[in-house]
Amino acid sequence: MPYVIGNECIGTTDMSCVDECPVDCIYEGDTKLYINPKECIDCGACEPACPVEAIAQDRRVTEENEPHVEDNRRFFLELLPGRDAPLGNPGGASKTGRIGVDTELVAGL
């Protein structure tokens, strides 16, 4: 997974990163945004656009945000509350719209 969105995004979801993403791989949960690791092209356009500095390369996350590396992956691979199937790789966030739920990690914070 090239880029990860960490704790700083929770409750903020500014959406500036979404506007900068050329491949539409940033999805909106309930209180946080998530980057699809299979759709991200590792271009880095989202990172400087984030006003709260919540985005980092997976290899450069802070220790505090280390759990979000796997958690961003889980958002797409595991069944989320209220959904019938995992989100998977839908081919762009504009196709799905707001997902409206978060992973267990984020919901518990």
| 109 assigned to some structural domain | no
* Four-residue CA torsion sign, 42, 56, 59, 93: negative
Give the CA angle between residues 3, 8, 14 to the nearest 5°: 85
Whether 48 is in a domain gets the answer yes
In a domain, 107, yes or no: no
**What is the per-residue DSSP string for 34-70?**
EE-TTT-----SHHHH-TT--EEEGGG--GGGTHHHH
- Between vectors from CA 59 to CA 53 and to CA 64, what angle results, nearest 5°? 55
Query: Model confidence over 36-91: pLDDT tens digits?
Result: 999 999 999 999 999 999 999 999 999 999 999 999 999 999 999 888 999 999 99
pLDDT category, 109, cuts 50, 70, 90? Answer: confident
Pairing of strands 26-28, 33-35: antiparallel
Q: 78: domain CATH number? A: 3.30.70.20
Number of domains making up the chain: 1
Residue range 24-28: average pLDDT?
A: 97
Structural domain boundaries, residue 80: 3-102
Residue 61 lies in a domain: yes
